[in-house]
Amino acid sequence: MSKIVTDAELHDAVGKLMGIGGDEYVIDDAGQYASFIKDLAGVICDHCGGRPSERAAQLEDMDGDWSIAIWPNDSLPDDGGIWKNYDEDVSFELDKR
């Protein structure tokens, strides 16, 4: 039998996998976590525009935080859409590679 999962529960599950709130279900394998971040960014890009880079990276100069580059594409709104308030020092190029 299948379980019914609400949007709030999906939000909770993603937070647990990312270690938000000190929950116990953190993905602790770096390769698996990098893949999860890329997949998650890809889902957001599929629905909101942009294209994630091929892999996520752990940044030593940011206390071990992870990042992934989002490249502009034809699906991205001109104002930057969902991504416009992140990494505000950089704006998307208009050529939308």
DSSP letter string over 12-69?
Answer: HHHHHHHTGGG-S-----HHHHHHHHHHHHHHHHHHHS-EE-S--EE-GGGTT-EE--
Q: Which residue has the tokens 């019914």?
A: 4
Per-residue pLDDT reduced to its tens digit, 21-66: 776 678 888 899 999 999 999 999 999 999 999 999 988 765 668 9
Would you say the pTM of this structure is higher than 0.85?
A: no
- The answer to whether residue 97 scores a pLDDT higher than 90 is no
95 vs 93, more confident: 93
